[in-house]
Amino acid sequence: MRVVLQRVLSASVTIEKQVKSSIDNGVMILLGIEEADSQDDIEWLCRKIANMRIFPDEEGVMNRSLLDVEGEALVVSQFTLHASTKKGNRPSYIQAAKPDIAIPLYEAFVAEMQTHLDSEIKTGEFGADMQVSLVNDGPVTILIDTKNKE
């Protein structure tokens, strides 16, 4: 499981010219799922995201977590995070999980994130053509892969 975690001042997902979800201060989570991912990966990753100290304290030092700032989260599925670019110029997505595996894991991820935060987890729509807008704060962008836990 891979995520691109971005600290944002605001973010939204639009589908067919309609805003589906939007947040203010918090994190945009672009989530890539592969077939080998499990509930253990979900639990580890959600705990890591909720507690990662990427928000500034009073001195401007990144010392506060999403929980500390009572921030919001917007989760968007993104199979392209598992793109292989080793051969040629056309990425291969063979490592990305197929929908029958990815959808339940995506839903489990959203549910697990909800257990960590007091605010409702906002989402995109799995498999939809989405337009994602955000104002990256900092900018702070962090890559996390559950295959690199240790």
Residues with active-site annotation: 80
Q: How far apart are CA 127 and CA 103, in angstroms?
A: 9
Q: How far apart are CA 128 and CA 124, in angstroms?
A: 8
Kindly provide the residue ranges of all beta strands, DSSP E only, lying in the chain, ordered along the sequence: 2-15, 18-23, 26-32, 55-56, 62-64, 72-77, 122-123, 130-145
